[in-house]
């Protein structure tokens, strides 16, 4: 039996949450889970429909994107996951979807503005939208460069991937992550709802104002601060 059995099972279960949460159509998405001790991660195979996906189809890959175990070709987005796992050592799982409202925002190249406490419960910044990369980078090692596109945008904006756990890749679609892959899946569903709320507010009242700082701090702190009092301890 493979030493990666549990990792594959966890990855499989996370992937199966995506259609259940209404975040993927056909094969448009993938989830991955890292094993920091072995420096590998498990990821969905490319183009396999969710209704036939099995735990043993999950592919094990190293941080350069090289296959370690599995008979199938890994997701075409594997190199993006690999770079994020390699560079951001605090994250445990990554999810990529083309969920409808988040992708519609990515297509506009606009950040999703923080307009309410639902957003502030999860992050204190607008959801960043990274601009498309240069033609040279696109024509080069595209998926690897997509990883840099995300990381560079975080550095440019001085954002921490442990505080802002989601991004829109401009003209493409969202990526989310988290300490665990279950958290990454949760962030994908939250992002889709934040994108939908902001779409509705912005079309109803163009030029709507951002949430004020005191409310941003209050809602974020009550869930994530040192004295948080949300949830069970």
Among 34, 40, 48, 181, binds a second copy (CB under 8 A): 48
Q: Is the dihedral of CA 65, 66, 68, 74 positive or negative?
A: positive
Q: Which of 64, 152, 208, 225 binds a second copy (CB under 8 A)?
A: 208
SS3 state at 54: coil
Which candidate in 35, 62, 121, 126 is catalytic?
121
Residue in the block written with tokens 């991660």: 41
- Mapped onto helix, strand or coil, the DSSP state of residue 28 is coil
Instruction: Using CB under 8 A, count the residues that bind a second copy.
Output: 61
CB of 63 to a second copy, least distance (A): 19
Measured between alpha carbons, how far is 181 from 186 in angstroms, rounded to an integer? 9
> In this chain, which of 103, 124, 176, 188 binds a second copy, going by CB under 8 A?
103
Smallest CA-to-CA distance from 34 within 88, 97, 96 is with 88
Residue choice 20, 25, 39, 156 for contact with a second copy (CB under 8 A) = 25
- Residue 172 main-chain phi, psi, to 5 deg: -115, -95
- Nearest by Cα to 74 from 93, 32, 46, 49: 46
Work out whether 180 is an interface residue with a second copy (CB under 8 A). no
Contact segment (CB under 8 A) with a second copy among 12-20, 36-44, 84-92, 166-174 equals: 166-174
Minimum CB distance to a second copy, residue 211 (Å): 5
Q: Hey, which bits of the chain come out as E strands? A: 29-35, 40-43, 59-62, 67-69, 93-97, 129-130, 166-169, 174-178
Residue from 36, 38, 179, 218 binding a second copy (CB under 8 A)? 218
Alpha carbon distance 148, 98 (integer Å)? 20
Per the annotation, the verdict on 51 as an active-site residue is: no
Report the alpha-carbon distance of residue 16 to residue 13 in Å, rounded. 5
Closest distance between a second copy and the C-beta of residue 158, in Å? 24
Binding mask 135-154 for a second copy (x = CB under 8 A): x--xx--x------------
Active site residue 121: yes
What does the block give as tokens for 200? 């509705």
Q: Cite the active site residues.
A: 121, 230
User: Using CB under 8 A as the criterion, which residues of the chain lie in contact with a second copy when the complex forms?
Assistant: 25-26, 28, 45-48, 72-73, 76, 98, 100-101, 103-110, 115-118, 132, 135, 138-139, 142, 171-173, 186, 189-190, 193, 196-205, 208-209, 211-215, 218, 222, 229-233
């Amino acid at each position: 039996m493979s030493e990666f059995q549990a990792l594959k099972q966890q990855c499989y279960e996370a992937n199966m949450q995506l259609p259940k949460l209404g975040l993927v159509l056909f094969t448009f998405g993938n989830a991955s889970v890292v094993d920091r001790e072995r420096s590998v991660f498990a990821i969905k195979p490319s183009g396999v429909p969710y209704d036939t996906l099995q735990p043993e189809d999950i592919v094990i890959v190293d941080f350069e994107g090289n296959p370690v175990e599995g008979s199938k070709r890994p997701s075409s987005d594997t190199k993006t996951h690999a770079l994020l796992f390699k560079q951001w050592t605090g994250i445990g799982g990554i999810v990529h979807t083309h969920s409808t409202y988040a992708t519609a925002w990515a297509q506009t190249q606009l950040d999703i503005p923080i307009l309410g406490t639902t957003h502030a419960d999860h992050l204190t910044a607008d959801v960043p939208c990274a601009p498309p990369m240069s033609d040279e980078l696109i024509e080069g090692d595209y998926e690897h460069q997509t990883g840099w596109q995300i990381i560079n945008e975080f550095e440019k904006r001085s954002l921490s991937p442990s505080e802002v756990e989601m991004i829109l890749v401009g003209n493409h679609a969202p990526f989310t992550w988290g300490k665990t892959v279950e958290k990454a899946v949760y962030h994908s569903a939250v992002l889709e709802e934040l994108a939908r709320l902001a779409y509705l507010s912005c079309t109803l009242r163009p030029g709507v104002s951002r949430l004020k700082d005191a409310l941003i701090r209050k809602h974020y702190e009550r869930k994530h601060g040192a004295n948080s009092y949300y949830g069970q301890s």
